[in-house]
Amino acid sequence: MMEINKEENIRLGLHRSDYMLDSETGSLLQIELNTISASFPGLGSLVSELHRTLINQYGKLFCLDSKRIPGNAASSRFAEALARAWHEFNVDSAVIMMIVQPEERNMYDQYWLAKHLKESHGITTIRKTLSEVEAEGHVLPDGTLIIDGRTVSLVYFRAGYTPNDYPSEAEWNARLLIEQSSAVKCPSISYHLVGTKKIQQELAKPNILERFLENKEQIAKICKCFAGLWSLDDEEIVKSAIQNPELFVLKPQREGGGNNIYGLDVRETLIKLQKEGGDALAAYILMQRIFPKASLANLVRGGACHEALTISELGIYGAYLRNKDKVLMNDQSGYLMRTKVSSSDEGGVAAGFAVLDSLYLTDK
């Protein structure tokens, strides 16, 4: 696609920036920025609603006030951003195509976006796997993407972020077909790549944000959210991670949970990668391990409740839309609170590690 250098005027990003509260400094440090398939705008906002209702009913018993749970309109805001991108494309009969996994486990989260799109904006969403796109899709000479006889104005990826989503050439062909078309892609290839751990690490280097932002105060605010991030060509940091592996997380360029390396495995893997030589080390970055304060919570999974020491991760959704040089949306779009047993390294809800939760604001 870089060789073709195709013009992409309408850009839509539906992002989620994740943070943990570092207990030592009391500051929110960024875990990562998700630029593809940022999940749980649908179910996350329902859980905030559930908690507010429960506190309204039983809160007095525990001296809790439901107003302290901030409103969370993530699903309607993401649907609004999708609808505005659809309007920019400006073909009334066109549909939005959601790319999903063949055995999609998160369809009830995705459902809420499709529901808001239909009920509030009159826009139809179709769901297709990448292999269905390859079988049913083609691109007209003017760039129009046709799937199953229908014009697609926007392709919203809720799959396509892990190598498992590309088991054969068919899925790669489908991705290429989508890229070659004039449909808006959420995300575009470049936004997809911006979500990699490598770019996160590069952006945290001194004087890099200055290339993208002018306002010094904003730059300082953003830098305060960066944890320590290092490329593995830094021999000193690799040495100290081998000495104190518990203070680091080793991350490959993967999404979707379950891929990071923690604890003694950090030491073992680094030594192995050093022996392999070549580009082996370049596939990873090192990150400072963040230690949030643990607190007691009641977790409900599969209908069973159990009490455990837990830590939480806060995600802030953001929607960004531009057409050529004109920025049409750049908004905060609600939040996702996830809570997991403090002894678990990984954090994903769909990956089976965490549960959905809400924020409760206090005066301190």
What are the residue numbers of the active site?
A: 16, 32, 34, 39, 197, 251, 255-256, 338
Give phi and psi for 72, each to the nearest 5.
-140, 95
Q: CB of 25: closest distance to ligand ADP in angstroms?
A: 13
* Contact status, residue 308 vs residue 299, Cβ threshold 8 Å: yes
CB of 101 to ligand ADP, least distance (A): 15
Closer residue to ligand ADP, CB minimum distance, 75 or 310: 310
**Shortest spacing between CB 121 and ligand ADP, in angstroms:** 30
Size (the chain), residues: 364
84 phi/psi in degrees, rounded to 5: -65, -35
Phi, psi of 143 (to 5 degrees): 100, -10
The residue whose Cβ lies closest to ligand ADP is 347
CA separation for the pair 306, 284 (Å, rounded) = 36
Which residues, including other chains, have CB under 8 Å from residue 85's CB and lie 6 or more apart? 10, 12, 153, 154, 184, 186, 321
Q: What is the largest CA-CA distance in the chain?
A: 66
CA distance 254 to 345: 16
CB of 133 to ligand ADP, least distance (A): 24
CB of 195 to ligand ADP, least distance (A): 8
312, two tokens: 């939480």
Q: Which residues bind ligand ADP (CB under 6 A)?
A: 18, 31-32, 227, 249, 251, 254-257, 259-260, 287-290, 313, 346-348
Helices (H), the chain: 41-58, 74-89, 107-121, 130-136, 169-180, 189-194, 197-203, 216-224, 235-243, 264-276
Tell which residue, 51, 18, 12, has the closest CA to residue 356: 51
Nearer to ligand ADP, 54 or 194 (CB): 194
Q: In angstroms, give the least distance from the CB of 32 to ligand ADP.
A: 4
Residue number, 179 or 346, with CB nearest to ligand ADP: 346
Pairwise CA distance, residues 54 & 142, whole Å: 53
What DSSP character marks residue 289? P
Record the tokens describing residue 361, joined without a space.
């604001």
> Smallest distance from the beta carbon of 96 to ligand ADP, in angstroms?
25
In what helix (H) or strand (E) does residue 311 lie, and over which residues does it extend? strand 304-323
Nearer to ligand ADP, 59 or 348 (CB): 348
